Amino acid sequence: MNISDRALNMSFSPVRKLLPYSDAAEKKGITVCKLNIGQPDIVTPDSFFDGLHKFQEKVVKYSDSRGIIQLRETFSKSCAKDGMDFSVDEILITQGGSEAIIFTILAICNEGDEVLIPEPFYANYSSFTGISGAKIVPIPTLIENGFHLPSKKEIEKLITPKTRAILFSNPGNPTGTVYREAEIKMLGEIAKEHNIYLLADEVYREFIYDDKIEYTSVTNIKNIEDRVILIDSISKHYSACGARIGFIASKNSELLNYILKFCQARLCASTIEQFAAANLINTMDSYIQEVKRKYTNRRDLIYKYLKDIPGVISPKPEGALYVLVQLPVEDTEKFAQWLLTDYSLDNKTLLLAPGGGFYKDEKMGKDKVRLSFCSSEEDIEYGMIILKNALTEYNKLKI
Amino acid sequence: MNISDRALNMSFSPVRKLLPYSDAAEKKGITVCKLNIGQPDIVTPDSFFDGLHKFQEKVVKYSDSRGIIQLRETFSKSCAKDGMDFSVDEILITQGGSEAIIFTILAICNEGDEVLIPEPFYANYSSFTGISGAKIVPIPTLIENGFHLPSKKEIEKLITPKTRAILFSNPGNPTGTVYREAEIKMLGEIAKEHNIYLLADEVYREFIYDDKIEYTSVTNIKNIEDRVILIDSISKHYSACGARIGFIASKNSELLNYILKFCQARLCASTIEQFAAANLINTMDSYIQEVKRKYTNRRDLIYKYLKDIPGVISPKPEGALYVLVQLPVEDTEKFAQWLLTDYSLDNKTLLLAPGGGFYKDEKMGKDKVRLSFCSSEEDIEYGMIILKNALTEYNKLKI
């Protein structure tokens, strides 16, 4: 029987495909430091659980397809705090940032249309575009430039009559790169001159670790408001990944109205988790500050270790919860698997996300891995010691 | 800027598009009996809220993309109770039945592929297939036959090399029709002979109101197990529509593995609502019996009224929460709007779902409306009195 081309062509999550080996290692009694996935260990704020327990309805009813008004108000206010102006009518609640991107691409791309994405990119962007049948055209960025954008001219070379949008995450997953004002303005100019959308995944917006970097949201660039779609989510910001609450914000009411059709098709986002999330407006400022302080320390810690491991090339991550590093091995997928099947140090080993999954052509990322620093300092420290020792041992084996 | 063809072609929810008129009527102080939507007034069972409050994790984490094991166990057991055999590995949790159908169609259909659906059909089936670019080919059914299926020969005439599946809801939304064993066996034969899937939306499976009708699930037909995909959900069964918890069950492990790619792309279904739903296994049998008793009474009540309204043609609904009736008006959409803008009886009026939305060619349903009987007996009774009086008045106006 038939399997669709999109299902055949979609990859299994590169972050998740080593899990069976990891499970097997754990069954053998080995502790696995999981630096492969962006699952923070930081507690979800009390405000979320307070919101959850405030839900006292007797019937768990369908809610508004656009999202409950209380939650849209919460997001409108949290945007305002960050200097971004979106009214409740300019916001649609989605089942996580994932659904936000899927619905937006479904609304703007036909099969065969093209979406430019700076590469390396979040692996699920392939699935999100693949669902609509759109094609990713990578904008190559280099580790030696800290994964910052190439020139306007280089990007414009990639534009064809089928280009519909530039999708990017800023701060970057998997790179940890924060685009500067000049880069964001350049994207704005390109979008305007070539009449395409800018789809900005800013879910890590709060996590920038250098005081001298001033964050520029594409939503604040003038005269391109109608082509900007903001993707946001509570997942990382409030350490509530499992709630699956995100949103789309845009000044383009026509586009939002088309996206609403997809929201209506799935009726509504989870009602109770929306109520819980609406109460995040009552989160103490100290919570956010404390989270940022922790992540800053973790970023500093992982970078301190990385720059001292022989043969490892690592930019200093500027934001988000990740760093994409180059390892002195030929194939990081094989190395990552070997770590789980054949290696341990003091009965501990390491789970990494091989770099191939963050490139359209997997070979391009073969010498890289993504490390997540949203785990505890202890895990990061252990992980880095394991990485250093394992690299030495692995490279001895091959001689 | 570009809007995709699928977004342009998708309809706004027919059930929801009268809402602005309904809101305006309510603002004028008119009570609106809402028989337009399948939102039960029946309370969600305590077991669900107990499950919700049992969630004591400090971090709302991503959960397994397949769904948490506890919830898959719950569904495996609830299937077993209904005589259906699915292990936890044959079940994928989805964000409502909607996502279950969307993912399945994405996995089996390319753009331009065809899905046969008995017509009239649940309006969102158009959106679900539209997302993948697949086309609906309606299997016409007639009110005078109680919307039962036509002959095998008639159905086979509609099959082309692009046909991938037959999607059907049983019991039927919007018809209330329950297919007999012979009909289900016929669908099984067609699927086997033409090598296509059977996608069975059985979310109303528990709601059958005539003791002499024995329910036949397509999952129990022999020798077609690999082509059957069951769609189920807690929405109606446990009156928890807003939780958005559904599942896909199939013996076809290859297909499930492809659908898993889509599950991985959106990471996971809402974690907390999965925990709440897992505890539904502890729902008292008396809850289900009481819900069924209430719906049986409501079905009897609405039918008692309907068969006495002059000019109204109504089959006796056998299951689900709906009945599709023919009204003595030319255009039920205009009539439904008039009810909200120009009519009231004792300061009350009625919100109906016009029939056009349940047909591929809207004109075919122009003389029909779907009535939902999941509201209170009082609302149903008032609604029917309003309908009878309003029809008389509306038809006088036109003379």
What value does the mean pLDDT take over residues A199-211?
A: 95
- Give the closest of A96, A164, A195 to B267, CB-based: A96
Other beta carbons within 10 angstroms of residue A12's beta carbon come to: 15
- Give the closest of A109, A133, A197 to B111, CB-based: A133
Distance CA A259, CA B276 (A): 30
Query: Same domain, yes or no, for B66 and B189?
Result: yes
The single residue listed with the structure tokens 């659980």 is A49
C-alpha distance from A12 to closest chain B C-alpha (Å) = 6
Report CB contact under 8 Å: B242, A63: yes
Report CB contact under 8 Å: A113, B13: no
Report CB contact under 8 Å: A106, B7: yes
pLDDT digits 0-9 by tens, B317-354: 999 999 999 999 999 999 999 999 999 999 999 999 99
SS3 B31: strand
Query: Same domain, yes or no, for B226 and B244?
Result: yes
Report CB contact under 8 Å: B266, A99: yes
Query: Same domain, yes or no, for A257 and A351?
Result: no
Asked whether the beta carbons of B65 and B260 are under 8 A apart, the reply is: yes
Report CB contact under 8 Å: A109, B4: yes
A-interface mutation test, from B63, B197, B272, most A Cβ less than 10 A away: B272
Q: CB pairs below 8 Å between A and B: how many?
A: 237
Distance CA A186, CA A184 (A): 5
| Domain end position, chosen among B242, B257, B282 | B282
| Domain end position, chosen among A282, A315, A345 | A282
Provide the CATH number for the domain around residue A50: 3.40.640.10
SS3 A229: strand
Closest CA to B202 of B115, B320, B293: B320
Q: How many domains does chain B have?
A: 2
Query: Same domain, yes or no, for B110 and B173?
Result: yes
What value does the mean pLDDT take over residues A374-394?
A: 96
pLDDT digits 0-9 by tens, A64-74: 999 999 999 99
| Residue-level pLDDT at B399 | 53
| pLDDT band, residue A399 (cuts 50/70/90) | low
Query: Same domain, yes or no, for A31 and A56?
Result: no
What value does the mean pLDDT take over residues A156-162?
A: 98
Domain with B219 in it = 46-282
Query: Same domain, yes or no, for A71 and A174?
Result: yes
Distance CA A40, CA A384 (A): 18
Question: Please, what's the largest Cα pairwise distance for chain A?
Answer: 67
Query: Same domain, yes or no, for B115 and B221?
Result: yes
A-interface mutation test, from B125, B266, B274, B375, most A Cβ less than 10 A away: B266
Query: Same domain, yes or no, for A34 and A110?
Result: no
- For residue A8 the two structure tokens come to 């055949």
Asked whether the beta carbons of B98 and A267 are under 8 A apart, the reply is: yes
Interface ipTM: 0.95
A358-to-A120, A126, A339, B174 alpha-carbon distances in Å? 5, 9, 20, 45
| Domain end position, chosen among B220, B249, B282 | B282
pTM, whole model, 2 decimals?
0.96
The pLDDT profile of chain B, 399 residues, written as one tens digit per residue, is 899 999 999 987 766 779 889 999 999 999 999 999 888 999 999 999 999 999 999 999 999 999 999 999 999 999 999 999 999 999 999 999 999 999 999 999 999 999 999 999 999 999 999 999 999 999 999 999 999 999 999 999 999 999 999 999 999 999 999 999 999 999 999 999 999 999 999 999 999 999 899 999 999 999 999 999 999 999 999 999 999 999 999 999 999 999 999 999 999 999 999 999 999 999 999 999 999 999 999 999 999 999 999 999 999 999 999 999 999 999 999 999 999 999 999 999 999 999 999 999 999 999 999 999 999 999 999 999 999 999 999 999 865
Provide the CATH number for the domain around residue B382: 3.90.1150.10
Query: Same domain, yes or no, for A10 and A136?
Result: no
Query: Same domain, yes or no, for B10 and B73?
Result: no
Distance CA B104, CA B92 (A): 11
Query: Same domain, yes or no, for B211 and B332?
Result: no
- Give the closest of A62, A108, A259 to B241, CB-based: A62
Query: Same domain, yes or no, for A80 and A225?
Result: yes
